């Protein structure tokens, strides 16, 4: 990569989540890291910088708009890493991916949109490979806990003298305290609209291997449908309910497995669920939660309820205050069975609101990892995943930032 003016540019810094990422970088990025904030409005960008006091003075300012590809291309050529929070990515993301792939600039984002990731792979994977760019999607709550959690587990197994090959793995959400961001909801609604209008989008969203680098090489393990109702899981010995992000996270993990030459297992059966508390209260909660998720999705297919839902739910740019973010947390457990018949598990824990505090932390460290840890990263380019682009180097960064990634033998 040729000499660039900036090490890291944050695009979308005036949005709610973007401002949280900017704040985190102002507090935790080393002073020698050259960082600029980018967006459409210079006055708003300067306002974000002023809100951090003296710590904001370190940031440069760049103007760009995803509807103006030339402005995005100009930004991409000035930086080693472009980190973007501008979504829905299916609407605004591809020009940024294109610019980074062509310029050989590393890229990271917060998308949870499979249709956008598929377009990114089909359109710009080959270009990014040729220029050496790492295009890394899903660097927030979806899908770093899932993607790096399973990587942590398989690396632990190898360190124990096992093959690391898994027959089965299920991620169970044990605790999830926090609010969905307006951006996440906007991305969800946009995806439903696209799926309703376009059969090819429905096909991508329904395919468990939608992000595979080579669909024909994937194993036939049956339908592998994401859970849609309350169900007892014998493997977990627990009642379970759907996990809203499973349809994204599972696809990302399967892409990681394929890109790593099926290092997790050639016939890995991977799923994600919400684990319910024992007893009637847990079952009732699971039923209510499942019905609520179904109602939210159904509301988007009927005009009046669609308008009502979009009025009542958080909008892009909206989010909880600091006290609410600090009060949030999440805890996940991955239960696995190896091809040798052993049981093992991994625990992933975050200590603030998953969609805001922890997501800002994860995206910030992903961007810093791409900018600062080049020599430690896998020699790989193209449209990647957190596990395949940054691997255990990012895990160690996040551990240092207070997150938990642990693994042990036996069922939990």
Q: Please write the tens of the pLDDT for every residue from 101-160.
A: 999 999 999 999 999 999 999 999 999 999 999 999 999 999 999 999 999 999 999 999
- Residue 1 included in any domain: no
Q: Count Cα atoms within 13 angstroms, Cβ side, for 321.
A: 1
165 and 125 both lie in a single domain: no
Please, what is the average pLDDT of the chain? 91
pLDDT at 194: 74
What's the pTM? 0.93
For the cut 90, the answer to whether the pLDDT of residue 65 exceeds it is yes
Q: Are 172 and 274 within 8 A, CB to CB?
A: yes
pLDDT at 320: 85
Q: Provide mean pLDDT across the span 72-99.
A: 96
38 and 154 both lie in a single domain: no
156 and 280 both lie in a single domain: yes
Tell me which residue range forms the domain holding 303: 144-353+399-409
Q: Which of 11-20, 76-85, 174-183, 310-319 has the lowest mean pLDDT?
A: 310-319
How far apart, in whole angstroms, are the C-alpha atoms of residue 205 and residue 221? 18
pLDDT classification of 202: cutoffs 50, 70, 90: confident
User: What is the per-residue pLDDT across 29-46, written as a single tens digit (0 to 9) for each?
Assistant: 999 999 999 999 999 999
Q: Which of 14-28, 48-62, 64-78, 314-328 has the lowest mean pLDDT?
A: 314-328
- Tokens encoding 190: 């946009």
pLDDT at 6: 98
269 and 191 both lie in a single domain: yes
195 and 301 both lie in a single domain: yes
pLDDT at 302: 59
pLDDT at 41: 95
73 and 186 both lie in a single domain: no
Distances 85 to 44, 93, 104, 396 between C-alpha atoms, Å: 16, 9, 20, 23
Number of domains in the chain: 2
Sheet with 404-409, strands from edge to edge, namely 231-233, 238-241, 269-275, 166-177, 329-338, 343-350, 404-409
User: What is the per-residue pLDDT across 207-250, written as a single tens digit (0 to 9) for each?
Assistant: 999 999 999 999 999 888 899 899 999 999 999 999 989 999 99
pLDDT at 339: 95
150 and 136 both lie in a single domain: no
How far apart, in whole angstroms, are the C-alpha atoms of residue 32 and residue 91? 34
167 and 76 both lie in a single domain: no
Render 363-383 in DSSP notation, one character per residue.
HHHHHHHHHH-GGGS-S--EE
154 and 15 both lie in a single domain: no
What residues contact residue 195 under an 8 Å CB cut-off, 6+ apart?
115, 201, 202, 205
- Residue 267 included in any domain: yes
What is the percent of the chain where pLDDT is above 90?
Answer: 78
For the cut 90, the answer to whether the pLDDT of residue 281 exceeds it is no
* Conformational region of residue 83, where left means phi above 0, alpha means psi within -120 to 50, and beta covers everything else: beta
CATH number, domain of 10, equals: 3.40.50.720
Q: Within its chain, how far is the Cα of 255 from the centroid?
A: 13
- Residue 99 included in any domain: yes
104 and 131 both lie in a single domain: yes
231 and 374 both lie in a single domain: no
321 and 184 both lie in a single domain: yes
Q: Provide mean pLDDT across the span 306-332.
A: 77
- Residue 289 included in any domain: yes
For the cut 70, the answer to whether the pLDDT of residue 309 exceeds it is no
């Amino acid at each position: 990569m040729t000499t660039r003016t900036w090490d890291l540019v944050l695009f979308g810094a005036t949005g709610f989540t973007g401002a949280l990422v900017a704040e985190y970088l102002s507090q935790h990025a080393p002073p020698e890291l050259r960082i600029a904030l980018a967006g459409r409005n210079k006055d708003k960008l300067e306002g974000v910088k002023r809100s951090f006091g003296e710590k904001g003075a370190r940031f440069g300012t760049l103007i760009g708009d995803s509807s103006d590809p030339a402005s995005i291309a100009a930004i991409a050529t000035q930086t080693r890493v472009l980190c973007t929070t501008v979504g829905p990515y299916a609407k605004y993301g591809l020009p940024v991916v294109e610019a980074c792939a062509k310029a050989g600039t590393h890229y990271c984002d917060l998308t949870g949109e499979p249709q956008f990731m598929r377009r990114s792979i089909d359109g710009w994977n080959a270009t990014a490979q040729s220029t050496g760019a790492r295009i890394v999607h899903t660097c927030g709550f979806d899908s770093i806990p899932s993607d790096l959690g399973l990587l942590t587990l398989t690396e632990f197994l190898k360190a124990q003298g096992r093959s690391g090959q898994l027959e089965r793995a299920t991620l169970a959400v044990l605790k999830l305290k926090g609010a969905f961001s307006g951006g996440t909801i906007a991305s969800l609604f946009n995806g439903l609209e696209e799926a309703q209008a376009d059969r090819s989008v429905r096909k991508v969203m329904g395919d468990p291997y939608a992000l595979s680098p080579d669909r024909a090489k994937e194993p036939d393990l049956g339908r592998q449908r994401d859970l849609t109702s309350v169900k007892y899981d014998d493997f977990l010995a627990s009642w379970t309910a759907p996990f809203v992000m499973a349809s994204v996270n599972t696809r990302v993990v399967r892409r990681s497995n394929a890109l790593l030459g099926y290092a997790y297992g050639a016939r890995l059966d991977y799923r994600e669920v919400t684990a319910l508390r024992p007893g009637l209260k847990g079952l009732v909660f699971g039923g209510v939660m499942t019905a609520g998720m179904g109602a939210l999705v159904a509301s988007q297919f009927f005009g009046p309820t669609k308008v009502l839902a979009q009025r009542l739910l958080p909008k892009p740019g909206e989010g909880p205050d600091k006290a609410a973010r600090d009060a949030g947390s999440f805890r996940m457990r991955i239960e696995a069975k190896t091809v040798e018949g052993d049981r093992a598990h991994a625990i992933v824990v975050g200590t603030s609101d998953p969609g805001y505090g922890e997501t800002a932390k994860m995206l910030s460290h992903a961007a810093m990892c791409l900018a600062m840890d080049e020599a430690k990263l896998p020699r790989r380019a193209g449209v990647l995943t957190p596990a395949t682009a940054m691997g255990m180097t990012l895990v160690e960064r996040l551990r240092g930032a207070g997150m938990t990634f642990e693994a042990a033998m036996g069922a939990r």
